[in-house]
Structure 1
Amino acid sequence: MNRRSALKLGVSALAGLYLSPLLGQSKILETPAFKGTFEPTWDSLAKYQTPTWFRDAKFGMWAHWGPQCEPEAGDWYARGMYQEGSRQYKFHLEKYGHPSKFGFKDVINVWKADKWNPEELVNLYKDSGAKYFMAMANHHDNLDLYDSKFQPHWNSTKIGPNKDIIGGWEKAARKAGLPFAVSIHAAHAWTWYESAQGSDKEGALAGVPYDGKLTKADGKGTWWEGLDPQELYAQNHPLSAVSSDRGSIHKQWDWAEGASIPSTAYCENFHDRTIDLIDKYNPDMIYFDDTALPLWPVSDAGLRITAHLYNKSLEKNKTVQTVVTGKILNEQQRKAIVWDIEKGQSNSIEPLPWQTDTCIGNWHYDRGIYNNKRYKSAKTVIHTLIDVVSKNGNLMLNIPVRGDGSIDELEREIVKEIGVWMKLNSKSIYGTRPWKIFGEGPQQESAGALTAQGFNEGKGKPYTSEDIRFAQKDKKLYATVMAWPENGTAIIKSLGKSSPHYTEKIKQIQLVSTGEKLKFKQHSDALEVYFPNQKPEASYANALEII
C-alpha cells in the first residue's frame, strides 16, 4: 500500500498505521493497549474541549531559544551551515571553520548560556501582559534542552551549558504564576539534517564529507569521544528525493513528495522523549511544529503523546486543562487539538479557539536584525493581538534570545512598550470572546490569504482609524479604533441605528485607557464617537467600552 492509498483510508483508520522505510510497504505498529478516556485516534481526541484559561489568556510569550542562537546568525542555522555557498555556510567558515571539521555538534559544545536569567525574563514578560509562557524543549537540531532519559547524551544537562533549560524556565513560570508551555520541533531532524550528509562541490575541500555521517568510533581523541553523533544527527539513512534542492523539505514537511520515511526506532524514541518531558515537567501546553501532529501520518506517535497528555490532565483536574497545537489541520483535527497559524492570522471569526505564533525578529536570534533595527514595533504587535483576539484567537510572541541567554536592549524596549498598552487597555483583551462580526474597515479587504501553515502577516494595508475590531465580555462591547482619529471623530458603521448587529440603545462609551466617558451620536448608518483632545499613551490602538 503506498502513502496516497493509505491517506484514502481516512484519519481514523490511519491510527496505528506505520509506513516503513521500504517505501510502498506498510505494517501496523504493535503498540500496547492504551489506558484512559482519550485513545490515540483522531475520533477519540475530537472529544476535546479547549480549557477556559487558554481562551481567557489571549497573549503568551515564547523563548524560541537553543544552541542555534549561539552563532546569532538566524533561523535553521544547523541546516544552513551545511549548504555550500549559503549565507550561514559562509558565516560558519569565517567564525568556526569548515563543517567537515567543526559541525553543529561542536557549536552545541561552545554554547554556554552564561547570562541566562529565566526568572528575570519571565517576570519581564509577565509585566508586559503575557498570561502564559512557552520555552523551546528541542528544535529540528535534535538537542533536548532538558534532563532527557531517552536522549541521554545529547541534551543540555550533559553538553553545552550543562543546565536543565526547561527545568529553569518551568520553575520561573510557576513562580510567576503563569501556565507553562513547551514547543517541540525534533520530529523533523531525520530529514532536516540531511544537508549534514553532504560535502563541498568546489574548493580545496571538495568531496570531503561534512560531519553528518560520523559514528561513535570516529570520536577517538576528540572532545566528543564516547558520544555517538548519530544519536543527534540521525543520518544513517538514504537521502530524501531531491534533497539537494534546498526548498524541497517544505514540500516534504508532511512526509510526502519523496521524503525519507523515519524508522520505527526513530519514531518510538521521539515518542519516549516527549512522554518523558511531559511526565517530568508537567507542561500546561505543547506546541508541535508539525503538520497535524509529529510524524503523522507515517506514525501514530503524536496521537499517543496527545492522548497521554489529555488523560494525565483529566486524571488530575477532572477536566482536560492542557492544550496541544498543530498546523495545517482539517476540520476533525481542529476539534482534537488547537489550530496554530504560523506568522499569520485567520481572515474570519473561527468557530474554535486558535493561535497565531510570530516573532519580533527571526525565530532564532539574528545579530543582523539587531544591527539594522528591523524588529517588529510594539504597535505592530498590538495591532496583531487585537485583530487575532477579535477572531477567537490567541497570540504567541517570540522574543529572540541571544546565545548567552539574554535579550538585547532594543527587544527589551519593545517588550516594555507592549506592556504600556496592555496595562491601559487589557480589559478589552483578557477574557473576551468574539462578537457577531470581528470588525470593519479597509485593512481587512487587503489582507493576504493563508498559505501553507500561515505566512500572511504584514500583507495587508496599515491600520487606520477607519479600521475597527470588536470583542465582548460581561455584556460589554469593546470596539478598538486601530489608530487615533486625527479629526477627533471615530466613525463606526457597524453600530448605526439601522445595523443588524447592535440593536440595543447605547447608554455610555468610555475610553478604556483613561476611563474618560466620551460623547457620541448614533445615526442611522453609523456611530460617531468624539475623542478627547489629549492623546493617551500608546494611542495607536484605542479601545472603547460600550454599554
Structure 2
Amino acid sequence: MRSPKLPGPALALLVLPLLLRPPGSAGGPAPFDPTWESLDARQLPAWFDKAKFGIFIHWGVFSVPSFGSEWFWWYWQKEKIPAYVDFMKNNYPPDFTYEDFGPLFTAKFFDANQWADILQASGAKYVVLTSKHHEGFTLWGSEYSWTWNAVDEGPKRDIVKELAVAVRNRTDLRFGLYYSLFEWFHPLFLEDESSSFQKRQYPVSKMLPELYELVNKYQPEVLWADGDGGAPDTYWKSVDFLAWLYNESPVRDTVVTNDRWGAGSICKHGGYYTCSDRYNPGHLLPHKWENCMTIDKFSWGYRRNAGISDYLTIEELVKQLVQTVSCGGNLLMNIGPTRDGTISAIFEERLRQMGIWLKVNGEAIYETCAWRSQNDTVTPDVWLNSWAMDSPFTGHL
C-alpha cells in the first residue's frame, strides 16, 4: 500500500491545557428507577468521552445485493423505486424473495482476527457491529429469530461471538453492538403497528428477549439502539430495560447507550445523543453526543456500484474527527463489509490512514475536552480543544 498523503497544516487542532477539578463524589451509585428522569441522571462511564473515536460496522443480508443501500428491501418492496425494481428484474429470477438472499450471505472469507487487527490499526477505541438491522437477520444464533440468523442460515457461524472474542483478545477497543428495535416484515410487529401499538406482542416475545440475550451472552459496552418503527418508548418498554441494564446487567458499570429508544426519545433521552445520522452541529452542545457517519457518502452497507468519488477522502474524514471532538462529540465512522466477509481495500485504506494520523496527533484527540471556544474565525480550519485531568464526564458539559 502506498503511503497515504495525510492532512497537513491546512487543517489543525489546537489543544490547550486545562486543569479541572472533578466534581465531588456522592458515594456509591443509587439504583436507577424505570423513568427517564432517573435514567438520564446516570453518569456516563468515563471511558466513552475519553475514547473520542469508534468504528461502526454495517453487515447483514443487505450485503448480498450490495446495491443502493442497506435499506434495499424497503426501497425495492415498499417504495418500489424503479432503480431497485430494475436491479432485481435484471439480475434475479422473477419469484426471488428477500429471504432468498439469506443463504447467499456466506461470510466465507470472514476472519475475525484480521478484522480486529485492522480495527486496532485505525486508532479507534471502540467498535459497534450491527447485531441485527431492520431486516431482522441476527448475526448470532438468536433463540427468538427462528432460522433467520447467521448460525442457522448463510455463514452457519456466530459472527457476534467471533468478533467479540477477537476484539477483546487482540485489541484495546471496547466491543459494542447495534440493535434495531423493529423489523420491516416481522408479522408480530406489523400486527402491533396495525393496532396503533396498543398491542405489544412483538417487544414482549421478540425484541426484549433478544436484548437481554445479547447483553447477558456478549456483554457489549456500547448498546446502540435504532429503528423505533414510529412506536413510542412506552411500546418498547425502554425504561424498564434500561433500568435493568444500569442496575443489574453484567455491564452495568461500563455500558453506554444512545438516544434511539422510541419515537420522541432521540436527542432528548438516553446516555448520549445522536440526534440524526451524520449529525455534526458545528458548536458545543450541553450533552455528550456522537457523530455517526459513513465513509461511503450514500450508504451504510457495502455497495458494489459505488465509485471512488462516493467515498470521503482521508482529509475529509480527519476534518470530521477534528470538528466533532472540538465540539465535545465522539466520531463513529462506518464501514460496510462485503457479503463474503472482506473489508474492501478502500475501507481498509481509510482505516489505516486514520490510524497513521492518530499516531502523530492522537494527543490532541484522546482524553481531551472541549474548550470555551471551538473555532478560530481568522483561520477557520483551526479547531480548539483542551486537556483535562481527572474530570469524569457526567453527560453534560
TM-score relative to the length of structure 2: 0.81
The offset of 1:150, in angstroms, is 1.8
**Partner of 2:395 in structure 1?**
none
**Partner of 1:355 in structure 2?**
290
**Partner of 1:518 in structure 2?**
none
2:213 to 276, 287, 307: 276
Is the 2:189–2:202 Cα contact (8 Å) retained in structure 1? Answer: no
Is the 1:109–1:159 Cα contact (8 Å) retained in structure 2? Answer: yes
The offset of 1:402, in angstroms, is 1.0
Q: Which amino acid aligns with 1:81?
A: W
The offset of 1:117, in angstroms, is 1.4
The offset of 1:119, in angstroms, is 1.7
**Partner of 1:470 in structure 2?**
384
Task: Give runs of aligned pairs for residues 114-125 of structure 1, distance below 5 A.
Answer: 114-125=108-119
2: CA distance, partners of 1:165 / 1:75 = 18
**Partner of 1:135 in structure 2?**
129
Task: Give runs of aligned pairs for residues 151-190 of structure 1, distance below 5 A.
Answer: 151-175=145-169, 176-185=171-180, 187-189=181-183
2: CA distance, partners of 1:165 / 1:378 = 29
2: CA distance, partners of 1:303 / 1:235 = 19
Q: Which amino acid aligns with 2:254?
A: Q
The offset of 1:233, in angstroms, is 5.5
Is the 1:40–1:300 Cα contact (8 Å) retained in structure 2? Answer: no
**Partner of 1:311 in structure 2?**
247
The offset of 1:85, in angstroms, is 4.7
**Is structure 2 residue 74 aligned with structure 1 residue 79?**
yes
Secondary structure in structure 2 of the residue aligned to 1:355? strand
Task: Give runs of aligned pairs for residues 34-433 of structure 1, distance below 5 A.
Answer: 37-73=31-67, 74-82=69-77, 83-98=79-94, 101-175=95-169, 176-185=171-180, 187-189=181-183, 192-193=184-185, 232=186, 234=188, 237=191, 260-261=196-197, 263-268=199-204, 269-290=206-227, 295-312=231-248, 320-327=253-260, 333-334=268-269, 336-341=270-275, 342-361=277-296, 362-369=299-306, 371-433=307-369
Task: Give runs of aligned pairs for residues 436-455 of structure 1, distance below 5 A.
Answer: 436-441=372-377
2: CA distance, partners of 1:141 / 1:38 = 33
Moved over 6 A (4+): 328-332
2: CA distance, partners of 1:143 / 1:400 = 16
The offset of 1:273, in angstroms, is 1.0
The offset of 1:173, in angstroms, is 1.5
2: CA distance, partners of 1:330 / 1:162 = 36
Q: Which amino acid aligns with 2:289?
A: W
**Partner of 1:489 in structure 2?**
none
Secondary structure in structure 2 of the residue aligned to 1:430? coil
Moved more, 402-411 or 433-442: 433-442
RMSD of aligned C-alpha atoms? 2.6
Is the 1:37–1:311 Cα contact (8 Å) retained in structure 2? Answer: yes
1: CA distance, partners of 2:221 / 2:231 = 22
> Residues 407 and 331 from structure 1, CA distance in 2 versus in 1: closer, same or farther, beyond 3 angstroms?
closer
1: CA distance, partners of 2:109 / 2:352 = 20
| Identical-residue share of aligned pairs (%) | 25
The offset of 1:329, in angstroms, is 6.5
1: CA distance, partners of 2:321 / 2:143 = 38
1: CA distance, partners of 2:37 / 2:114 = 42
Q: Which amino acid aligns with 2:226?
A: D
2: CA distance, partners of 1:324 / 1:239 = 25
Q: Which amino acid aligns with 1:338?
A: Y
Q: Which amino acid aligns with 2:43?
A: Q
Q: Which amino acid aligns with 1:263?
A: K
> Residues 382 and 332 from structure 1, CA distance in 2 versus in 1: closer, same or farther, beyond 3 angstroms?
closer
Q: Which amino acid aligns with 2:380?
A: E
Secondary structure in structure 1 of the residue aligned to 2:305? helix
1: CA distance, partners of 2:244 / 2:230 = 14
1: CA distance, partners of 2:265 / 2:202 = 26
Is the 2:142–2:149 Cα contact (8 Å) retained in structure 1? Answer: yes
The offset of 1:437, in angstroms, is 1.3
2: CA distance, partners of 1:239 / 1:296 = 11
The offset of 1:385, in angstroms, is 0.8
> Residues 238 and 295 from structure 1, CA distance in 2 versus in 1: closer, same or farther, beyond 3 angstroms?
closer
Is the 1:238–1:260 Cα contact (8 Å) retained in structure 2? Answer: yes
Is the 2:294–2:334 Cα contact (8 Å) retained in structure 1? Answer: yes
1: CA distance, partners of 2:49 / 2:334 = 19
Alpha-carbon deviations, 1:222-262, whole Å to 9, x = none?
A: xxxxxxxxxx565764987xxxxxxxxxxxxxxxxxx9537
2: CA distance, partners of 1:285 / 1:39 = 21
Secondary structure in structure 1 of the residue aligned to 2:292? strand
Secondary structure in structure 1 of the residue aligned to 2:89? helix
Secondary structure in structure 2 of the residue aligned to 1:368? coil
Secondary structure in structure 2 of the residue aligned to 1:183? strand
TM-score relative to the length of structure 1: 0.60
Secondary structure in structure 1 of the residue aligned to 2:223? strand
The offset of 1:426, in angstroms, is 0.5
The structure with more radius of gyration: 1
Is the 1:359–1:397 Cα contact (8 Å) retained in structure 2? Answer: yes
How many equivalent pairs are there?
Answer: 351
The offset of 1:294, in angstroms, is 9.1
2: CA distance, partners of 1:424 / 1:43 = 42
The offset of 1:375, in angstroms, is 0.6
Secondary structure in structure 2 of the residue aligned to 1:169? helix
For structure 2, list consecutive stretches of 5 or more residues without a partner in the other structure: 1-29, 390-397
> Residues 398 and 350 from structure 1, CA distance in 2 versus in 1: closer, same or farther, beyond 3 angstroms?
same
Is the 2:282–2:324 Cα contact (8 Å) retained in structure 1? Answer: no
